[in-house]
Amino acid sequence: MNLNKVRDGISLRKMMLAALLLTLGVATGCAVNPVTGQRELGFISEQRELTIGQQQYTPSQQSQGGQVTVDRELSAYVNRVGQRLAAVSDRRLPYEFVVLNNSVPNAWALPGGKIAVNRGLLIELNNEAELAAVLGHEIVHAAARHGAQAMERGMLLQGAMLVGAIAAQGSDYADYIVGGAQLGAQLMTQRYGRDAERESDAYGIRYMAAAGYDPSAAVSLQEVFVRLSEGRQSGLIDGLFASHPPSQERVNNNRALVAQMRAEGITGGELGTERYQQATAFLRETKPAYDAFDEAEKLIAEDRLEDAAQRVETALRMVPDEARFHGLQADIMVYQRRYQAAVSRYDDAIRRDPNYFDYYLGRGVAYARQGNNRRATEDLQASIKLLPTAMAMNELGTLSLASNDRAAAKQYFGFAADAQGPVGEQARAAFMRLDIADNPGQYIAVQPYVNQGGRLLARIENRSPLTVRDVTIEFQAVVVGQVQSRSVGLAQIASGQGGELDSGINFPAGVMPAANQVSVTVLGARVD
């Protein structure tokens, strides 16, 4: 069937997309790039940039593991370095800097100065100046409106976003983020053009120097990235390097710029090696625990649950207060159908970090499997406030059906239908099962015609991917000035199948009715 017709019926999703487009703004005009001073076309105002960044910052963090909570001073330290650089940037924005609980080396910036760096990247750096090189680069992306420019070029608005797809195909989250949070997924994973990357490198290095850092760290940083990319270290290609590809050209460009700055009299600058090592000491000490956690996630994907449980236990012995470890242990218990034990472990995770969606999602599923629909609904709704996911929407749709709220179920399944992968497929099927009963004519095509003997017939075709039962068709015709109506039932029609229906209505010999004198309507249908 035509999937667009299904999606056209998802009113709540359309309302959300419409609100998102309004949020992005419609004003047009010329603007001056705050960093380069060049004039450029500007569709998105600064206020819209700020709004987009603020709205997308939390779900974007959630989709990448949430903030590091077991070492809160680490985020405070990174924020101090970031604010030191922001103070010398060419554009005043409400900059924020957080550290995300993710082992993939990555960093990203949203419009409006909302910036994040993964703990997996911090492990790869040697000193504070290299951190400053990373953050300076991201500050330029925000200050120079690179994200806004991408949207203005239509990379996000004139295609994938309008049909609810995600640009982040290939990421771990592409299969389940739905609703407005899809925009954040796109902004985080988009690959900037060479000019934007060169611009961010060049101005970021000057920000470093202005903030008192040794700009040569930008060269050593790119050298590290090139070496790591050549070794194709696990996770790197899909992380930082996917959106910020390293190259020897970037190393050479940075080295040439530093030499030029030295010639201009810009010398010295600190590396901050000891300070950086102190700030990241706990991160380095606990790396084996997070390695065990990452191994456990891979083992779960291979359906080796017992082995995964052992690796999580190892991680917990090393860092007993890490909420992510408790959460993954609870996930394993759900897969093992140990629902009460899982609820207890999710409780432990939430006590340690009440601001991560996955714990509420998992606990909601566990409650649902126990038949505690009220608590399940509360937790699932809490999860989608932090990050709207297809899994939570699917579960809420199922719970709504259990309480005979078909309208709510259709809305939840409609949201989940935007997702890719098996969860989205399941949601689309659930939505269609409900929608076929409400709008059977969108799925069952009928076309009336009169044969040579004057009999009113109809060609019928099931354009849905499901077998449809109890189809009721109503014929109406004006015969010699009299309106005649007949209802014809069809026990079932399989997906893609067609046939003919006989109305039982005859026209006098030689009389061929006008088009407006015959009609056929699908009155009802259902799916088991």
Query: Identity (one letter) of the amino acid at 446?
Result: V
DSSP annotation string for 124-158: T--SHHHHHHHHHHHHHHHHTTHHHHHHHTTTTTT
Residue of 123 and 42 predicted with greater confidence: 123
What tens digit of pLDDT does each residue of 397-446 get? 999 999 999 999 999 999 898 887 888 889 999 999 999 999 999 999 99
* pLDDT at residue number 432: 93
The whole-model pTM stands at 0.83
CATH number assigned to the domain comprising residue 513: 2.60.40.10
**Average pLDDT, integer, range 146-165:** 50
- Averaged pLDDT for residues 132-152: 83
On whether residue 316 sits in a domain, the answer given is: no
Residue 251: the pLDDT is 87
The answer, yes or no, to whether residue 231 has pLDDT greater than 80, is no
What is the chain's mean pLDDT, rounded? 85
Looking at the domain assignment, is residue 145 inside a domain? yes
Question: What is the residue range of 504's domain?
Answer: 441-526
Question: Which helix H or strand E contains 450, and what residues bound it?
Answer: strand 444-450
pLDDT for 167: 33
Note whether residue 320 is domain-resident.
Answer: no
pLDDT, residue 229, reads 75
Nearest partner of 519 among 464, 447, 459, judged by Cα: 447
Is residue 149 predicted with pLDDT exceeding 90?
Answer: no
Residues 6+ apart with CB under 8 A from 165: 159, 182, 418, 420
Mean pLDDT of 172-194: 59
Report yes or no on 201 lying in a domain: yes
**In-domain check, residue 466:** yes
Look at 280 and 249; give whichever has higher pLDDT: 280
Q: Which of 257, 283, 309 is the last residue of a domain?
A: 283
Q: What is the number of structural domains in the chain?
A: 2
257 found inside a domain: yes
- pLDDT greater than 60 at residue 2: no
Residue 212 in any domain: the answer is yes
Task: Tell me which of 244, 265, 283 is where a domain ends.
Answer: 283
- pLDDT digit string, tens, across residues 452-492: 899 999 999 999 999 999 999 999 999 999 999 999 999 99
In a domain, 520, yes or no: yes
Return d(Cα 328, Cα 309) in angstroms, integer.
9
Query: E-strand spans in 232-351?
Result: none
Contact in structure between 107 and 391 (CB atoms under 8 Å): no
Burial readout 35-68 (b: 16 or more C-beta within 10 A, e: otherwise): beeeeeebbbbbebbbbbbbbbbbbbbbbbbbbb
Q: Average pLDDT of 357-369?
A: 97
Local confidence band at 84 (pLDDT 50, 70, 90 cut-offs): very high
**Euclidean distance between CA atoms 468 and 436, whole angstroms:** 8
Label residue 448 by pLDDT band (50, 70, 90): very high
Q: What is the mean pLDDT of residues 203-232?
A: 87
Kindly state the average pLDDT of the residues 498-527. Answer: 92
Q: Of 254, 283, 312, which residue sits at a domain end?
A: 283
Which pLDDT score, from 0 to 100, does residue 185 have?
60
